[in-house]
Structure 1
């Protein structure tokens, strides 16, 4: 089997392959840019996760992948095993400081539970149930992003250095801004705006 046969499906068309690889590349670049100021290990892991998740989402929607993964002899056990081996949340928890194991477990547990529900449902209801699960999954991962984004920001090398003294003329206004930021660290948007100075904003 070729690499495309393994990553997408046997007999995938050129258009399907181009679309899947393009989505995977965009995902890898986006994730890599998000983690660009982190350690090399974090950058590599986050980039690979982005490649797999973006590309995999498109692969699962192709006709060739549907034919391959639902070919004769495949049943719910195979589908659940496929979902279960995708342990990216735990990989992120392992290498990204601040991305907790409980967050990883919540994401992984929800996806696995959703897969059980979908594969157990009647054929006519599987698609709408899968879409419903996707909506709730987006809500959960959006909440988890609030843990991942600051975690990546906090792993910047600059965070490991001693703070610089305030520039002349900043005085108490600068100190008050730093104090307010420390007191209210939940504003990811302000952190990205103030600290990253116009870098790519996370979706």
Structure 2
């Protein structure tokens, strides 16, 4: 194993957009994890909806599947060494990370619209905690960021379990949502690479 911070150039055309999402130079194993596990998670969700006879409209099932694939995929992608060296490369600071985090208000709004009759206060509380925790983590000295991130993640579990209501069957949404952002994305880690990379 080796640590490699230098990133290969973005590929051309449409592939450049993929590289911006997962980082350029992703290995075959990373790509498999990012694609197969989210689809398996979506399959499990669909099985639960069917077997549990959940009273969801078709459009709610579609929204839930989209959120499942995105969040599970995001947890995996943001935790890969390729994504770590891309999202924590030189020039990626507080402002860039907070832009990425802020985009996720859209997921909270979509969830609230689909399953909570668009509870705006719910979006504000969940999103406000997301911003507060993210800012606190990023402003913390690097050597303390991991424990601080875990403190805020633990707080998000309490918040989502005892204050923010979610429909039955979707209790996983907020814990995984915060895991994706506070732990997988924000924490800077050494990008370990295999000695012989298979792209």
Same fold (TM over 0.5): yes
2:137, 2:145 within 8 Å by CA — same for their partners in 1? yes
Q: Deviations over 1:76-99 (max 9, x none)?
A: 100011000012121111122457
Change (3 A) 1:48 1:151: closer
C-alpha distance in 2, partners of 1:67/1:136?
Answer: 28
After superposition, the CA RMSD in angstroms is: 2.5
Q: 1:78 aligns with which of 96, 101, 112?
A: 96
- Relative to the length of structure 2, the TM-score reads 0.67
1:116 aligns with 2:130: no
What is the aligned partner in structure 1 of residue 19 from structure 2? Answer: 5
Does residue 126 of the first structure (1) align with residue 140 of the second (2)?
no
Structure 1 residues without counterparts, runs of 5 or longer? 153-203
1:102 deviates by: 2.4
The Cα offsets for residues 33-77 of structure 1, whole Å up to 9 and x where unpaired, read as 455541122111111111111111111211110100011111110
Task: Tell me which residue corresponds to 1:91.
Answer: 110
Q: Structure 1 CA distance, aligned partners of 2:44 and 2:109?
A: 20
Structure with more relative contact order (C-alpha pairs < 8 Å, separation 6 or more): 2
How far residue 100 of structure 1 moved from its aligned partner, in angstroms, is 3.0
Q: Give the C-alpha shift of residue 18 in structure 1.
A: 1.1
- Structure 2 unmatched runs, 5+: 1-10, 172-199
Q: How many residues align?
A: 152
Counterpart residue number, 1:135:
154
Hey, which of these two has a bigger chunk of helix by percent? 1
Give, in angstroms, the shift of residue 142 of structure 1.
3.2
**What TM-score comes out, normalization by structure 1 length?**
0.65
Alignment partner of 1:55 out of 69, 73, 80: 73
Q: 1:98·1:148 contact (CA, 8 Å) conserved in 2?
A: no
Shift of 1:143: 3.8
The answer to whether the Cα contact below 8 Å between 2:98 and 2:135 also exists between their aligned partners in 1 is: yes
Question: Quick check: which has more Rg, 1 or 2?
Answer: 1
Q: Match for residue 22 of structure 1?
A: 36
Task: Tell whether the 8 Å contact from 2:122 to 2:164 is kept in structure 1 after alignment.
Answer: no
- Quick one: structure 1 residues 145 and 41, their matched pair in 2 at CA, closer, same or farther if it must change by over 3 Å? farther
TM-superposition CA deviations, 1:168-201 (whole Å, max 9, x none): xxxxxxxxxxxxxxxxxxxxxxxxxxxxxxxxxx
Matched, 1:41 2:59: yes
- Aligned position for 1:162: none
1:126 Cα deviation (Å)?
Answer: 0.9
